[in-house]
Chain A
Amino acid sequence: MLAIIGAGPAGLAAALEAHKEGIKDIVIFERAKEPGGILLQCIHTGFGLHYFNEEISGPEYAARFSEAIKDTDIKLICDTMVTSISKDLEIIAMNKKDGLMKFKADAIILAMGCRERPRGALNIYGTRPSGIMTAGAAQEYINIKGYMPGKKCVILGSGDIGLIMARRMTLEGAKVEAVCELLPFSGGLKRNIVQCLDDYGIPLRLSTTVVCVHGKERLEGVTIAKVDDKLQPIPDTEEYIECDTLLLSVGLIPENELSQLAGIKIDPVTKGPVVSDTRETSISGIFACGNVLQVHDLVDFVTLESQVAGKAAAEFIKNRNLKNEFAKVVPGERVRYIVPQKVSLPVTEELTFYFRVTNEFDNMIVSLSVNDKEIYSKKKRKLAPGEMENLKIKTELFENLTSDDVIEIKVKEK
């Protein structure tokens, strides 16, 4: 049995791919009542441009996969929580209908997605009123429950969900006073800044953060301040904004509690498992894909990544041909992280490396080298931390790669 944990875009795509590869016994565990994951509350369009060559909404994108699942014998168990997985591929799950269940899988694909960073992790002083919530929680209240979480709003963090919610709140008649971003650049996609803020005249205030919240029961206002280059608030730049809602879009964290329970090695930068090009984790037979592995900007790339994991898991079940020789992949100058973190040997297929840069850069060269010898480079006009980059490298460039070799990707000046 191939067990897939999570029926969001990652889990669904991985399941379909494994099915295509001939795996019959596939079970997807989903904690929500229906498949689709976070896409279900993303009712805006902008999904599918890369994968389907058209612009569709989140629920539509999800439906294309969940409908396809219906035509297969893939088993989807919803409203079910997986409470543990082990390194021996044992899974414990429970739901109201079947109670407590124990399974032994032949392979597992982790597709649990990510969660939003909460307020507590931020150093905001002041009171603890209601009206402070993550942008994703507000999105659920509006799009799923159909209720407004407030009328006058400040958004902290310019991640994509924050930008999308700035527009959504405005469309529903709320006033969005400002989107504040701690960094000197936005972590969101350029197109979202244009379509969600600029088009509605919502100010994006860079190098600005919320330092204090006010209000005893319901939020009454926030104090914002400019920050210096060490990201510390600058005295005398404080400004009070009256608002009843503070939405936080201050980062996403892959949900790896289950992975850690099994003892899977986690990359301290991505906060997701360390994987090879097949998306196999440090535990043989356990694969990971989607936002549990690395936080993506676009679901299209989640789909592609999950297909890689689905195919590899199928291969693992069918042939048990364990590749256990790897070449290391390390981020070089101006690169924050790279997925995969290692490449299994020998390389038999074209490889795609996904990475993020450390800052905004113009007119640079992305360079891939093996043991400091450049084997591939390409020009990039614009690079930003908010946009995940990828490099496709042909098989022949990695001929004779050995486990002593180190692959490095860096961004250098022209």
Chain B
Amino acid sequence: MKTDIAIIGGGVVGNMIARELSAYDVGIVVLEKNHDISMETTKANSGIVHAGYDAMPGSLKALLNVRGCALMEDVCAKLYVPYKKTGSIVIAFNEEEHEHIKALYDRGIANSVPNLEIINKARLREIEPEISPKAISALYAPDAGIVSPYELSDSAADCAANNGATYIRNFEVSSIEMKDDMFVISDGECFIEANIVINVAGTHSDDIANMVGDFSFKISPRPGEYALLDKAAGYIANTVIFTTPSKMGKGVLVAPTTHGNIIVGPSSYDADEKESYAIRKGQLPIIFEKAKESVPNLPVGQMITSFAGIRAHTEGDDFIIGSSKMNKNFINVAGIASPGLASSPAIAEYVADIVKEVYPKELRRKENYNPSIKRPIRINSMSFEEKQVAIAKNPDYARVICRCETVTEGEIKDAIHRPVGAVDIDGVKRRVRAGMGRCQGGFCGSKVMDILSEELDIPVNSVTKFGKNSKIIFERTK
């Protein structure tokens, strides 16, 4: 198979780049090693659209975070992705921390972050009534927000696919060779030839770069654990609440999610393994303890699940985006740790500009490019009349499968038949939230299995949680 551009990695950044480039008259193939897209860092992060005061002025992080934050609302509106401009606060508990947030404020101003202000205790409690009385002041960034990261990623992929990009899942790149001026990318079985390679392989982006002889950076995986609280705990935070940052990251945050839950985390430590999505012993109590410093009455008993994500941390602590020294047509997009999600729309633009420079021909914009996707039906958020209309068109929208989140059969079928559709139980969960609620799929798991089996035309006992050996049921009973 031949293509103009191969994007390695179907996470949120890869998919946003694919969407951006699909506006042009070029062939695009996205290669994803997992059973589905959005399964690594994209599926397990804080979901925060940072305002952009953290990064050092002049860094790529500063430039792309501020731009990404400004673009996010529009992108989410086009892709029908849950987004909310909640604002964020960084709390100071003492004079030293107050000095620190003043420094953050100055940095924010240098980075051109709009509407930043330092607020006093009274104003802070007005914004966050549940905040610790020990907090003396805070940096308030009203333009920060929250977004559903995997929904952004999956919808961007659908948009790219609608505009002609090809998605190949279960393609784990094992070698990249040069043949004439083309890259030949292989997973050991199939070969994809491409003029340009964009390396967006997350924690594995150094391994991919190594394949073309580029050893210029190294990813140190840095996992972080999170706890998710029930929607009943939603009252506890209105904005994204940070404590003052440390060397290891932005500290433990307490934030609402776009679906009304509360997310608490992450922890931070350096790991050896690149896919260590395990919760470590004793970490959740530590996260809760830290979170309670900001929000003392955090109802930790409301935890419905916990998970771990991995930051693709690099030594320089900045994004590494640009043509490789080995070959200008090999573009690294690496070290996309926080604020990678917030920056993703801007990273996509930035990479498209690089592609325009190195691409041998002039990139022509497609006339029929559609930056949006078909509006998905979401029964849960519709009025009585809207539901009536949707159900009249398709009665599948009247059969509730997931009770906790009110997700219907129609929505699950839609998730499966999207351009880059769900192929397993977790994929359905990420796309339409079936199993995301308080019973965590206890009731609907079996029904989702049946629908996947039916729609994908596969035996019910070959349906998996997330591909490979993650089957749910095996042989027939006696």
Contact = CB atoms under 8 A, between A and B. Distances in A.
B400 A96 contact: no
A140 B444 CA distance: 11
Interface string A111-153: 0000110111101111111110110110011101111111100
Given A96-B399, A99-B392, A133-B445, A217 B477 contact: no
A222 B55 CA distance: 41
B384 A92 contact: yes
A148 B445 CA distance: 15
B474 A148 contact: yes
A94 B398 contact: yes
B469 A94 contact: no
Interface of B: 228, 275, 277-285, 303-307, 384, 387-388, 391-392, 395-396, 398-400, 403-404, 406, 438-443, 445-446, 460-461, 464-478
10 contacts: A99-B392, A99-B395, A115-B442, A115-B443, A118-B304, A121-B303, A137-B445, A147-B460, A148-B477, A216-B275
B470 A130 contact: yes
9 nearest A-B pairs in the assembled complex, by CB-CB distance: A120-B305, A118-B440, A147-B473, A130-B465, A81-B400, A217-B469, A130-B470, A96-B395, A94-B398
Contact of A99 (B307, B398, B443, B445): B398
A212 interface: yes
A339 B279 CA distance: 39
B471 A125 contact: no
Nearest to B288: A123
Contacts of B477: 142, 146-148, 172
Contact of B472 (A119, A130, A255): A130
B473 A116 contact: no
A137 B442 contact: yes
Interface string A72-113: 000000010101000000001011111110100000000000
Contacts of B392: 99
Query: How many A residues are at the interface, by size bracket?
Result: 35 or more
Contact of B442 (A99, A134, A257): A134
A235 to B, nearest CB: 10
Nearest to A129: B470
Given A99-B398, A127-B278, A146-B476, 12 more contacts: A31-B400, A96-B395, A99-B392, A100-B391, A100-B398, A118-B305, A118-B438, A120-B305, A120-B440, A148-B474, A149-B472, A217-B469
A298 interface: no
Contacts of A150: 474
A56 interface: no
Nearest to B464: A130
Contacts of A116: 439, 442
The residue among B438, B464, B477 with the most chain A CB atoms within 10 A of its own CB is B477
Contacts, number: 137
Contacts of B384: 92, 100, 102
Nearest to B380: A83
Contacts of B404: 257
A173 B478 contact: yes
Nearest to A141: B473
A127 B277 contact: yes
A257 B470 CA distance: 31
A218 interface: yes
A62 B345 CA distance: 56
A330 interface: no
Nearest to B442: A134
Contacts of A127: 277-279
A408 B9 CA distance: 64
The residue among A140, A145, A150 with the most chain B CB atoms within 10 A of its own CB is A145
Nearest to A125: B279
Given A96-B398, A125-B284, A217 B468 contact: yes
Interface in A242-260: 255, 257
Contacts of A97: 395
Contacts of B470: 129-130, 217-218
A144 to B, nearest CB: 8
B363 to A, nearest CB: 41
B284 to A, nearest CB: 6
Contacts of A148: 473-477
Contact of B304 (A95, A100, A115, A120): A120
A126 B399 contact: no
Contacts of A216: 275
A31 B442 CA distance: 15
Given A94-B387, A99-B398, A120-B303, A126 B279 contact: yes
B442 A130 contact: no
Contacts of B283: 125
Contacts of A96: 395-396, 398-399
Nearest to B445: A137
Given A140-B446, A150-B474, A120 B399 contact: no
A49 B396 CA distance: 41
A140 B464 CA distance: 17
Contacts of B473: 141, 145, 147-149
